[in-house]
Amino acid sequence: MSKVKTAILVVLGLIWLAPVYLLVVNASKSVDGFDAKTVWKPAGFALFTNFGDAWSKAALGDTLVATTMYSVIAPVIAVLIGAAAGYAIVVLRLRRGFLWFVFIFGGTIFPLQMILMPLFSGYADSGLYDTRVGMIIVYTAISVPFSAFVMRNFFTGIARSVFEAAIVDGGGLFRIFRSIYLPMAGAALAAIFILQATFVWNDLLLGLTLSQSESVRPIMPALTGLQSTYGGAALPTVLAGGLLVSLPTVILFLAAQRFFSRGLALGQF
């Protein structure tokens, strides 16, 4: 029976890896050597050449700094706000805490497409359109509900006696949060950060709607320039660009996999 399960898992793993194989194989082909009829067959190795073409044609270097900034600052702020909200609702027993939680998490009920036009109009009127500050604000706002949801669940699993003992020892509310609850929630905070950083890095819709200049626009909208109707790059270059911009999130996950797995367990998803 165990051999059957192993065989099934191997087959499922190969099916899951098939798109990755197609991406790498076709991104490695030269522009002249690409043929849609032989997408499954390797032919040459021009991956690094295609990386260079994608980098220059999509001007990815100009957007890399901005995207890195969004993917670090916005998740960090969102994680801290979410942790503070969970702490206030669960530990401090905020009055009507559940209603506050519903209010915060209610931001995820409506599809993002429904608020794009009001969001665009508000950004245009307030001067936040096509600014890095504006992008950080919107990414933070979108990341807060999930962070609050996870941290509320996490703090629910911590015994009330921990807070009571800290109060007896003379700890202030902010000091208890900073010195006790945040360190205890380190793995959960790391897991939330990884998920939200990945979301921000891979965002396309908000980047296209709220930014225009190359110094502000995230990297995914810049990558779409390779597939423009006029002067679009060849498919191997486009695939190489997609592979290139996905590497940072893969590296982040692999580097923090231990914290991510532990955070999933402790966060009670």
Q: For residue 70, what pLDDT is reported?
A: 95
Q: Which residues contact 78 (CB under 8 A, 6 or more apart)?
A: 139, 140, 143, 144, 147, 192, 196
Q: For residue 263, what pLDDT is reported?
A: 57
| Interatomic CA distance for residues 38 and 28, integer angstroms | 13
- Mean pLDDT of all residues in the chain? 84
The DSSP call for residue 33 is T
Phi-psi region of 110 (alpha: psi -120 to 50; beta: other; left: phi over 0): beta
pLDDT, tens only, 193-226 = 988 999 999 998 999 899 988 889 999 888 887 7
Q: For residue 260, what pLDDT is reported?
A: 63
Q: Are 83 and 144 in contact (CB under 8 A)?
A: no
Q: Which token pair is 75?
A: 């998740």
**What one-character-per-residue DSSP string does 175-236 give?**
HHIIIIIHHHTHHHHHHHHHHHHHHHHT--HHHHHH--STTTS-HHHHHGGGG-SSSPPPHH
Q: For residue 261, what pLDDT is reported?
A: 62
- The b-or-e profile of 48-80 (16+ CB within 10 A means b, else e) is ebbbebbbebbebeebbebbbebbebbbbbbbb
Please give the average pLDDT of every successive group of 10 residues along the chain, which has 269 residues.
82 88 85 78 83 84 89 94 90 82 78 86 90 94 90 86 87 87 87 90 91 88 72 76 87 75 54
| Interatomic CA distance for residues 180 and 168, integer angstroms | 14
